[in-house]
């Protein structure tokens, strides 16, 4: 898809949204919608391929136990506060201890297999 075609489609979409807004009284900010779609389109056509290549080159980082520990801590903290769980610190410590034990057990097995 060329840039001219993309701009034509975005212009047509902007005109259609403006028509809907004026005729039906919809509370749509057409400038924001067109701006957002432009940013998404430019990202998909320009940066997405580069991002996929960068992630593919760094796939070993996703197997690191420290990454998963940080990920689990962030998710658990977010869920505890946003959903109002109010988990006691003992429950969080127990859960993180189990996750750590599992992560480091698999890392230990990997190192042991590489050295054997």
pLDDT tens-digit map of 22-38: 777 777 676 777 777 77
Q: Of the residues 57, 85, 101, which one is the last residue of a structural domain?
A: 57
CA distance 45 to 55: 17
Same domain for 66 and 50, yes or no, is: no
Same domain for 16 and 31, yes or no, is: yes
Same domain for 80 and 39, yes or no, is: no
Give residue-wise pLDDT tens across range 1-57.
Answer: 567 777 777 778 778 877 777 777 777 676 777 777 777 877 777 777 788 888 788
CA distance 70 to 39: 30
The residue range of the domain holding 30 is 3-57
Same domain for 34 and 76, yes or no, is: no
Q: Of the residues 57, 86, 103, which one is the last residue of a structural domain?
A: 57
Q: Which of 83, 80, 116 is nearest to 95 (CA)?
A: 80
C-alpha triplet 32, 35, 41: angle, nearest 5°: 140
Give how many domains the chain has, as a whole number: 2
Q: Of the residues 30, 57, 84, which one is the last residue of a structural domain?
A: 57
């Amino acid at each position: 898809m060329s840039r001219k075609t993309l701009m034509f489609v975005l212009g047509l979409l902007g005109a259609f949204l403006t028509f809907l807004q004026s005729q039906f009284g919809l509370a749509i900010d057409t400038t924001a919608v067109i701006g957002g779609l432009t940013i998404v389109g430019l990202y998909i056509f320009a940066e997405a391929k580069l991002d996929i290549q960068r992630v593919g080159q760094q796939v070993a980082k996703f197997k690191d136990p420290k990454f998963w520990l940080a990920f689990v801590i962030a998710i658990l903290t977010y869920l505890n506060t946003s959903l109002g769980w109010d988990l006691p610190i003992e429950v969080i410590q127990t859960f993180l201890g189990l996750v750590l034990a599992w992560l480091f057990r698999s890392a230990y097995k990997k190192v042991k297999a590489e050295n054997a």
